[in-house]
Structure 1
């Protein structure tokens, strides 16, 4: 059975990554795109060979589609996802799922009641590098994990700045844009859940309207692992990376916090250094393949709605910590803090 997709949002990320990933599936096609701007919808459809362009959500949901990909601004995710779920459509939604974890849990409840698949587009857990790191940890190659560090401070391109640095009401700021990804990637690679976070944020000259464009976080996980993460929009010359240090070795990955299947992973132990090989499959293609399998009843999306609640709860706790100056507990069932 062909899965007919509707794009909610004529976005850059869909154009750069998601359209090709859907079309890479033997059972996937893009049937329609929606933008609230009719001219943009029409131009986007023409540029990307999409048969139908609409300017209303109802028009998209009535267009004979089976699933939607939501990549609009963050404050629109909840209403659009709930409407799609009510119409019986499967939903793959960009992170964060919503502006609050309570709203995200509402999305999960609606999807469960409707019997449709809900996934969060946390693409980094589909990277071959991160999967290789997770496998090495599970295999005991670094012994007991002790600590981790994530370097995910980059320079936000001018064409992506917009609402991310000017509109608090749309869910702008680096924490809801990047810290959520680091929360999910740490959970995935470590196979562990964060329980507490301390966070400092800054406005280093790019963001306005009281939004943050940099964050430094310290995390504590259930097993006792501690982690550090640095997120930013303003560092033009920084590399990205991910390190996990254990009792018997370290995994040192470089240039892996990216949408591209690139980078390197080094295992360092008493025996010396070893380059860990990993597949270079497109992250979004892998994610879409798993989402299509979930639609067929074969497993779950690579990142579920519950995973999206975890990452959003961590981001909420980070923002609260930055305001209070105190460590904040992370609990996806109760919200950000206890």
Structure 2
């Protein structure tokens, strides 16, 4: 069975990576795109060789050639678009953050279950070979009991993305819902543990154009296994690099350059046996995300990141924002 995809949102992320990832699967085709700007949608379809540019979401969802949708609109639109897609019987891969509130996310999960459609959240970092290797080493006891973690994910936001992410709090602008939510999801996967509380400080360093939008953040999360994790994110840092470290009673495991959509840096394990390096053999985390999503549609397996995962990572990000706002430690 060939699976036809409809794109909800004529986005740069779809254009730059996800269309190619969908087309890389032998049983998938991009059939249609919907944009709230009809002219933009038609031009986008032309530029990306998409057969149809629909003038309404209903037209896209009523198309029998569409079996699944990829939603990459601004965050405040995810809730209703997921509900409409589920009720039309379409399987759903939705960009992070899954929603703007926990109530929205929980309703999305519930309706997708009721309609028997797959709901996946596009937290693609967790499917990377390096991240999965770190998870396996920790689970095998290679570093003993995990005690502390550090994520450094401070970047310089590219000019073509310096729009609503810096100016529109109603759309979920800011570094926390854009990056922290990714990092906490990645840690949840690596540690097989859940964050319980967070202390957070946000920064307004000059890139964000709205006073309620943060462009930097540093947070400390406590997990239910006792581990504490520090996460630093920013839209303004040009030369920091990125990486994850997890330190335990018997060793440490780390990865640098894990944010790349292609090959990541090697995983490094340090313990009493010395230092070992494990190289990645993966070509594309986006292609793997699509493969796992299609497997879930066809065989009832779990996608790389479920709706429930998206909801739990969103809960941590919302608590992070609340802590920065109130100056208090917030339970998740």
Pair in the same fold by TM > 0.5 = yes
Question: Which shifted more, 81-90 or 55-64?
Answer: 55-64
RMSD of Structure 2 on Structure 1 (CA): 1.0
User: Which of residues 256, 273, 276 is equivalent to 1:274?
Assistant: 276
Q: Distance in 2 between matches of 1:26 and 1:100?
A: 36
1:107-256 to structure 2, matched below 5 A, reads 107-209=108-210, 210-256=212-258
Q: Distance in 1 between matches of 2:326 and 2:69?
A: 38
Q: Shift in Å at residue 153 of structure 1?
A: 0.8
Query: In structure 2, what is the equivalent of residue 320 of structure 1?
Result: 322
Question: Which shifted more, 179-188 or 56-65?
Answer: 56-65
Deviations 1:66-119 (A, max 9, x none): 010000000111111111111111111000111111101010000000010000
Query: In structure 2, what is the equivalent of residue 333 of structure 1?
Result: none
Query: In structure 2, what is the equivalent of residue 311 of structure 1?
Result: 313
> Once superposed, which parts of structure 1, at least 4 consecutive aligned residues long, lie more than 6 Å away?
none
Contact 2:175 2:214 in 1 (8 A): yes
- Is the aligned partner of 1:91 residue 2:92? yes
Query: In structure 2, what is the equivalent of residue 259 of structure 1?
Result: 261
Q: Shift in Å at residue 46 of structure 1?
A: 1.3
Q: Distance in 1 between matches of 2:128 and 2:170?
A: 31
Q: Shift in Å at residue 278 of structure 1?
A: 2.5
Contact 1:128 1:281 in 2 (8 A): no
SS in 1 for 2:239: coil
Q: Distance in 1 between matches of 2:179 and 2:260?
A: 11
Deviations 1:109-139 (A, max 9, x none): 0000001000000000111110111111111
Q: Distance in 1 between matches of 2:170 and 2:55?
A: 22
- Is the aligned partner of 1:12 residue 2:12? yes
Query: In structure 1, what is the equivalent of residue 26 of structure 2?
Result: 26
Contact 1:32 1:63 in 2 (8 A): no
Q: Distance in 1 between matches of 2:261 and 2:158?
A: 14
Q: Shift in Å at residue 270 of structure 1?
A: 2.1
Q: Shift in Å at residue 262 of structure 1?
A: 2.1
SS in 1 for 2:238: coil
Contact 2:263 2:280 in 1 (8 A): no
SS in 1 for 2:147: strand
1:279-318 to structure 2, matched below 5 A, reads 279-318=281-320
Give the number of equivalent residue pairs.
330
Query: In structure 1, what is the equivalent of residue 67 of structure 2?
Result: 66
Contact 2:134 2:254 in 1 (8 A): no
Q: Distance in 1 between matches of 2:55 and 2:185?
A: 33
Query: In structure 2, what is the equivalent of residue 334 of structure 1?
Result: none
Deviations 1:7-54 (A, max 9, x none): 000111011111111111121111101111122111111111111011
Q: Distance in 1 between matches of 2:157 and 2:236?
A: 7
Q: Distance in 1 between matches of 2:137 and 2:206?
A: 40
Q: 5+ residue gaps in structure 1? A: 331-338
Q: Shift in Å at residue 277 of structure 1?
A: 2.2
Q: Distance in 1 between matches of 2:261 and 2:207?
A: 22
SS in 2 for 1:296: helix
Q: State the TM-score, normalizing by the size of structure 1.
A: 0.96
